[in-house]
Chain A
Amino acid sequence: MNLWKVELLLLFRSWRGWTLVTLYLLASILSLLTNYFIDKANVIELISYADVIELYLLFSLPAGILFIGLVVSSMSFDSNQNLSIFLRMRFSFKKILLTKLVIYVLLSEILFLFSFGITFFLSIIMFDTSDAISSKWFLFGFLFNILNSVFWVCLITFTSAVFKSTVASLLLTLAIIIGFPILVGITTPLELAARGLLETPENEWNNVSYVGKINNWWPTTISDTDNFLTVTNSEIAANTIKVNFEDVELDPWFRLKPFIVSLLVAPFLWLYAWRTYSRREI
């Protein structure tokens, strides 16, 4: 028995791992079924396989959130003092932390790619493929996906280190990931209304509103680059893609600002977490 096996057993001898696998597979099945029924109903003339994958990316969000919860819960190993003593008397915190991070990063990529692959191949069989997905953009999106996961590792390690309690760490993580965008969504129109600028076109809000301008730099928005995974030739010709149901210019650096912030912030998050874990008293 060793720490690697323990971490895998923790996932797959409980509801955790299987629920996660189920949610990813469910996202894949639902995206295929939804488009199948739309196709049957003849609502849209031709359904492209890229549409199916876009829907898969949307449906896999719950799995992503569950995944974050599982990682935070696993990283908050100090929340159970006596279990923490058992671990810390025998393994260095470096080994505990690295084991967890390596397993969860690998698992995240494997599960995402596995269900993405299933959706991709089944949608090729079932739906229209005349408007092909650009492989260059796909690889570019995948590169961002990996860079994104490095930032997530630093962020979750940080939020898990701030508090000993799992619940507090999870709430902080969700506040950063989901809470802030919701807050922006609510306060931006309020701010614009207060400033008498509510007539501004919606796609300009983030450039006019002060809250929106902060959101433009918010590091977690780099996950929007997942939309590069499904850029089609027609979108390249039109020079636009859909991001969060809005048409956006097809620009490889449209999330450059949060990307810069994530690159700058990630080392500090990691250093803070490392220092906190190594100095934390039981």
Chain B
Amino acid sequence: MNDPVLEISNLTKKYGNFVAVDGFNLKLQQGTVHGLVGPNGAGKSTMLSIISGLRRKTSGAINFGLPRKEIMLMPDTPDFFGFLTARQIVDLARSPFLLNISEEQIEKVIDAVGLSNSIDLKVKGFSRGMKQRLGLATTIISQPKLILLDEPCSALDPIGRYDVLEIVTKLKENSTILFSTHILSDVETVCDSVTVVDHGKTLYEGTVSGISDGKKSFEDAVIELLRPKKEL
């Protein structure tokens, strides 16, 4: 087996007395899609921002099997300079990574995320869903090897969601993806493995199929893990 692309051991993040991430462990092999599932405030976005270097960890170790510039994070509500067009934004996003790129390549990426009709429109008029699509375009244009997607489908309509999941499946050929989401069916569709987190703690880590005993659906098994046990 190859060296992992990302190996996290005992990652902890504290804000004063509040523990946002509590002893998180993860090992990602190349070409896999790993889902990160949990309720609001579970610590998913914090984990992704620590991995991407935007926040500092309190303790633990993060080892990368690739250069840091090969990592890209897409936040759940991406934002851009409103006075630029989608084409200019994607061109700006590629500029630090790829010196020369043809207009066709930029157009191809924008087309892939379903924004070809808005390619020369200023971003200030974009809806949240359109910004998420553009966020995905700016993420994949630099061809990163490790992609961190923070709830990439949260503002998308069903067709948008379908498109994004299809892109994620294609990206798997060249990249490794850590995919945070609330939508459990998305995890079933694209992820090879999953971590269920709540209050910063890992409740389950393993394959998508391994979470249930075969009798329950994936969704039921996750909800049972997350729902507080009622005392009888």
Contact = CB atoms under 8 A, between A and B. Distances in A.
Interface of A: 1-3, 6, 9-10, 13-14, 80-83, 85-86, 88-91, 279, 281-282
B79 A80 contact: yes
B54 A88 contact: yes
Contacts of A80: 79
Nearest to B90: A1
Closest 10 CB pairs of A and B: A82-B79, A282-B54, A1-B91, A1-B92, A83-B79, A281-B55, A13-B83, A1-B88, A90-B96, A85-B75
B54 A281 contact: yes
Contacts, number: 57
Contacts of B96: 90-91
Given A91-B96, A281-B54, A1 B72 contact: no
B73 interface: yes
A9 B88 CA distance: 11
A134 B135 CA distance: 58
Nearest to A83: B79
A2 B92 contact: yes
Contacts of A9: 81, 83-84
29 contacts: A1-B84, A1-B88, A1-B89, A1-B91, A2-B95, A6-B81, A6-B84, A6-B92, A9-B84, A10-B81, A10-B83, A81-B75, A82-B78, A83-B81, A85-B73, A85-B78, A86-B79, A86-B93, A86-B138, A88-B54, A89-B52, A89-B54, A89-B73, A90-B93, A91-B96, A279-B56, A281-B55, A281-B56, A282-B54
Which residue among B78, B88, B92 has the maximum number of chain A CB atoms within 10 Å of its CB? B92
Contacts of B75: 81-82, 85
Which residue among A10, A81, A82, A86 has the maximum number of chain B CB atoms within 10 Å of its CB? A86
B141 to A, nearest CB: 10
B162 interface: no
B78 A86 contact: yes
Contacts of B77: 82
Interface of B: 49, 52, 54-56, 72-73, 75, 77-81, 83-84, 88-89, 91-93, 95-97, 138, 142
B107 to A, nearest CB: 14
A90 B75 CA distance: 13
A279 B54 CA distance: 9
Contacts of B56: 279, 281
Interface of B, secondary structure class, is loop
B3 to A, nearest CB: 24
B78 to A, nearest CB: 6
B55 A282 contact: yes
A2 B84 CA distance: 12
A90 B138 CA distance: 10
B170 to A, nearest CB: 21
Given A281-B54, A281-B55, A281-B56, A83 B80 contact: yes
A89 B75 CA distance: 11
A82 B95 CA distance: 19
A80 B124 CA distance: 14
A1 B98 CA distance: 12
B85 to A, nearest CB: 10
Contacts of A13: 83
A99 B54 CA distance: 21
Given A1-B89, A9-B81, 8 more contacts: A1-B95, A6-B92, A9-B83, A10-B83, A86-B93, A86-B138, A89-B54, A91-B96
A3 to B, nearest CB: 8
A10 to B, nearest CB: 7
Which residue among B49, B73, B75 has the maximum number of chain A CB atoms within 10 Å of its CB? B75
A89 B79 contact: no
Contacts of A281: 49, 54-56
A192 to B, nearest CB: 48
A10 B96 CA distance: 19
Nearest to A95: B96
A10 B82 CA distance: 9
A89 B70 CA distance: 10
Given A1-B91, A2-B92, A282-B49, A89 B81 contact: no
B46 to A, nearest CB: 10
A182 to B, nearest CB: 35
A10 B84 CA distance: 9
A86 B134 CA distance: 11
Contacts of A86: 78-80, 93, 138
Nearest to A88: B54
A9 B91 CA distance: 15
Contacts of B92: 1-3, 6, 90
Contacts of B72: 89
